[in-house]
Chain A
Amino acid sequence: MMSRTNIIALIFLIIMGLYPLFADSAWLAIGTTFLVFSVVAFSQDIILGRAGAFHMGHAAFFGMGAYTTAILNVNFGWTILATWAPAVLIPVIVSFIVISPIIHLRGDYLLVATIGINIIFLQILENDLFGLTGGPNGIFGIDVLKVFGYEFFEQTHMYYMSFILLGITLFIMKNLDSSKFGRAMFYVNKDDVAAQSMGINIRYYKMYAFAIGAGIAGAAGSMFAVQYSAVSPEAFDVLQSIMFFTIVLVGGSASLPGVIIGTFVMFVLPEIFREFETARYLIFGLAMIIMMILRPRGIWPVKFGNIPSFLKKGKK
């Protein structure tokens, strides 16, 4: 028997699977980016929604994946397929190195420190440290994916590759929820002192969340670089991080449908209202305020975790 959520998820996947049949090329590109951004938003949600770490520098990990693919492909001539593993591993390693000294910081302090990490990353890109990142212009001419001589160069190919990546991410998210790790993170998020006294190593689990989040974001970044066949620093600045952060909170943190809706609201809606050009972001900002006032826990807030219903008596 299928639950209501599963039916909605299935309908969503069918619609997204058939979408390229109806969309023109501009909208197909937006659709592809929507899928990639959803993946990044999910990885942000692992850190922010599930582990409860206020993280506002996620575009840095997204960018690391994109730049890894771009640099290895353009400067060193690797095939796109070969860059996938490093595009995931490098953000994981970097997240481990830069986050582990600051993981103990409380809420807002961590938030500002992660903004700092994003800004440092951006300055490294713009100032062209090591002469690899191409400075403010970025890197052009990234190859298309080639497997056994077959080239995936069409928009539709990119779309379905992103679609598969989203599917893998959803599968990981679903499994995370029901794993020991997922339950521990949920506990840490609800009450970290109680979790700690039950023997949960908060530091370890938060680092784990950052590592998984950075890895998934790196994979999405690699996809993003191939889709646009170019990378440039401004795609990974703090405003982008703020967007991912806001997506999770507007949609509903730790909620799978919430994050998808959040991505739609924060990324696709502004694209639809492109005609309003100048006043667009004014209205957008107002909408953010009103949305938070009306639905402070997000548009589709998560139900009470994985706690069995007989334990929930009298609790909201």
Chain B
Amino acid sequence: MDIFLQQIVNGLTIGSLYALVALGYTMVYGVMKLINFAHGDLVALSAFAGLTIYTSIFSNGGTSIVAVITVFLFTAMIIAVVGVLLERFAYKPLRTAPRLSAVVSALGAGLVIQNAIMLIWGPNMKIFPSDLFPSTVYDINGVVITFTQFMILGLSSILMIALYLFINKTKMGTAVRAVAINQDAAQLMGINVNKIIMIIFIIGSALGAVAGLFIGIYYRGITFDMGWMYGLNAFVAAIIGGIGNIPGAMFGGLVLGLFNALISGYISSAWAETFTFTLLIVVLIFRPTGILGETVAEKV
């Protein structure tokens, strides 16, 4: 039973990271109908950028709340800028092109970011400093939860609730939803579609940046090509939940995280991806647009 609860805790931690990354995919997909294949590499870039910022500003080490907030804010800002530039140069010129052209452009952009990381930080694995968060461990009836896990769960819940409120309760959020439903009609109602798309990329990239930093802090070892696998898992999470649907991405992330943790805990981690994608295919066979996805057919 303890193992089960332990795996639930671990699964929720990984699941929240997937959910944060999945939100970036799902928001871009909801508005632009584009799989942003470069998003996973932005997450990897964030881990490396955060590492450099932390070591160059706070080289004396030691945990302070100021250091943590600075690293998170700076990294999120940098990644948001990169995300906006990505949209501006790689996707915007292709908005009217066939959909698959933008997919190829996204794959190219992912390749550029991944190799830029390799050229800047080198091809070897980098180790994230362990002193960013205190190494406190809480033991609740035999279930171990670290301070880092606690922070991941807490901060990602706060961010997700904030995003949910932003999308559903504010005027800007309403505009985002309007653009997702019909860009032309939204434009005719006076919504600046370019601005909305920019906001989507800022929010999506910033959430991805937070996830990237947490991946660095939680797993410690970061490699230039890790974005692909995290991105793919998060994308699967977004699809399981129903892509384009924001609560769906959060739900999908948590489901996939728990599923992964239980598979690794009880069966074998060598088959993790096989189980992930079998789950995806089974979900898609019964719910072709994901669990929380809308059931209407795509317009012709």
Contact = CB atoms under 8 A, between A and B. Distances in A.
Interface of A: 54, 101-102, 104-109, 111-113, 115-117, 119-120, 123-124, 126-127, 191-193, 242, 245-246, 249-250, 253, 278-279, 281-282, 284-289, 292-293, 296-297
A308 to B, nearest CB: 24
Contacts of B101: 249, 292, 296-297
A277 to B, nearest CB: 11
A279 B271 CA distance: 34
B239 A112 contact: yes
Nearest to B35: A108
B289 interface: yes
Interface stretch (B13-21, B70-78, B133-141, B273-281): B273-281
A120 B243 contact: no
A120 B284 contact: no
Contacts of A109: 239, 284, 288-289
A279 B298 contact: no
Contacts of A286: 108, 112
B104 A249 contact: yes
Interface stretch (B58-66, B91-99, B163-171, B214-222): B91-99
Given A242-B107, A288-B108, A289-B112, A116 B281 contact: yes
A105 to B, nearest CB: 6
B108 A297 contact: no
Contacts of A124: 274
Interface string B235-253: 1100100010000000000
Listed from nearest, the 5 A-B pairs whose CB atoms lie closest are: A288-B108, A116-B277, A285-B111, A296-B97, A285-B112
Given A123-B274, A282-B111, A286-B112, A113 B284 contact: yes
A117 B277 contact: yes
A205 B285 CA distance: 19
Contacts of A111: 35
B201 to A, nearest CB: 16
B273 A281 contact: no
B107 A288 contact: yes
Residue picked from B99, B105, B109, B110, most chain A C-beta under 10 Å: B105
Interface stretch (B1-9, B113-121, B124-132, B143-151): B113-121
B261 to A, nearest CB: 18
A246 B115 CA distance: 18
A7 to B, nearest CB: 29
A281 B110 CA distance: 11
Contacts of A242: 107
A292 B108 contact: yes
Given A249-B101, A282-B111, A293-B93, A112 B119 contact: no
A282 B119 contact: yes
A285 B108 contact: yes
Contacts of A278: 115, 118-119
A104 B288 contact: yes
A288 B280 contact: no
A86 B171 CA distance: 61
B188 interface: no
B280 to A, nearest CB: 6
24 contacts: A54-B100, A101-B281, A104-B288, A108-B29, A109-B288, A113-B277, A113-B281, A116-B281, A119-B273, A120-B273, A123-B271, A249-B101, A281-B111, A282-B115, A285-B111, A285-B115, A286-B112, A288-B104, A288-B105, A289-B90, A292-B104, A292-B105, A293-B94, A297-B101
Nearest to A285: B111
Nearest to A250: B104
Contacts of B116: 282
Contacts of A115: 232, 277
